[in-house]
Amino acid sequence: MSINKKALKSNKYKVSFKIDADAAKDFSTASLVGDFNNWNPSKDVMRKLKKDGSFSIQKTLEAGREYQFKYVLDGNNWSNDPNADKFVPTEYADSQNSVLVL
């Protein structure tokens, strides 16, 4: 998994999220969910790349903020990105969210 951030002139970042082929091989769908889309798996469906089987998506997000997020694989497997900037506990005692710091 990887996250790439590119600063834009308008106090925003273009952020690329990728689930590599090894992590994606057992799944047919993936979504990016977080506080930027009300944790809705149908809003940011990731594209599966035919050449290697990885999933990817790009988002433009405001700078100067932190965003909590996860990946949803096949509609019911929620996964953190190990390359997130940090992790925070969720309201559920046994879980954490990935955090992107811009």
Say what the pLDDT of residue 91 is: 83
Beta bridge partners of 79: 71
Per residue in 42-95, pLDDT (tens digit) is: 999 999 998 899 999 999 999 999 999 999 999 999 999 999 999 999 887 778
d(C-alpha 26, C-alpha 24), whole Å: 6
- What the chain holds in terms of domains, given with CATH numbers, is 2-101 (2.60.40.10)
Per residue in 18-39, pLDDT (tens digit) is: 999 999 999 999 999 999 999 9
**Reported pTM:** 0.92
Say what the pLDDT of residue 69 is: 98
Distance (Å) of CA 70 to CA 8, 9, 32, 82? 24, 27, 6, 10
Q: How far is CA 16 from the centre of its chain?
A: 8
